[in-house]
Amino acid sequence: MTQNQIIDRDYAGEGIYRENIIDHYKSPRNFGILENSDAEYMEFNPLCGDEATMQIKIKDNLIKDIKFKGKGCAISMASCSILTEKIKGKSLNEVKKLEKEQVYEMLSIPISPQRVKCALLSWETLRRLIKIYENKNG
Ligand code: FES
């Protein structure tokens, strides 16, 4: 049995923030394609094959715009939506300092060990995206 089969993809966590996860899953913010992006990166979760692609536009060291596309479970897609919403307008340096724990805080639901990769798909994508941007722009 694969991870994909045992994971309930619509699972949106427990507690009062569950509705927030469902909302971001069903109506993801910053979902789509960014024309003329400065960098793009696709990350995937090897356990289930789900993926997220992020594109970023940076000006004067600020995140001017960010968009994502992907297919994944409720938590992974809500995480992309929430994270992209939080970082828009922030400085590159600020965003580079984001820790995993802050992503868990943004999600506000308990994350079991089986859901860690789901919750952090957004964060991993963003980290590598920024590295690609920095490699391209010295
Ligand atoms: Fe694939 Fe959550 S089940 S990212």
Residue-level pLDDT at 1: 40
Cα of 53 vs centre of ligand 1, distance in Å, is 14
Inter-residue contact 129 to 40 (CB < 8 Å)? yes
Banded model confidence at residue 95, pLDDT cuts 50, 70, 90: very high
Cα of 65 vs centre of ligand 1, distance in Å, is 25
Cα of 47 vs centre of ligand 1, distance in Å, is 8
48 within ligand 1 shell (Cβ under 6 A): yes
> For residue 38, what is the DSSP state?
S
Rg of the chain taking only CA atoms, in angstroms: 14
**pTM (2 d.p.):** 0.94
Domains assigned to the chain: 8-136 (3.90.1010.10)
Average confidence (pLDDT) over 81-98: 98
- Give the CA distances from residue 100 to residues 10, 22, 61, 95, 105, in Å, rounded to whole numbers and listed in that order: 22, 21, 22, 12, 9
How confident is the model over 43-65, as pLDDT tens digits?
999 999 999 999 999 999 999 99
52 is written with which tokens?
A: 């997220």
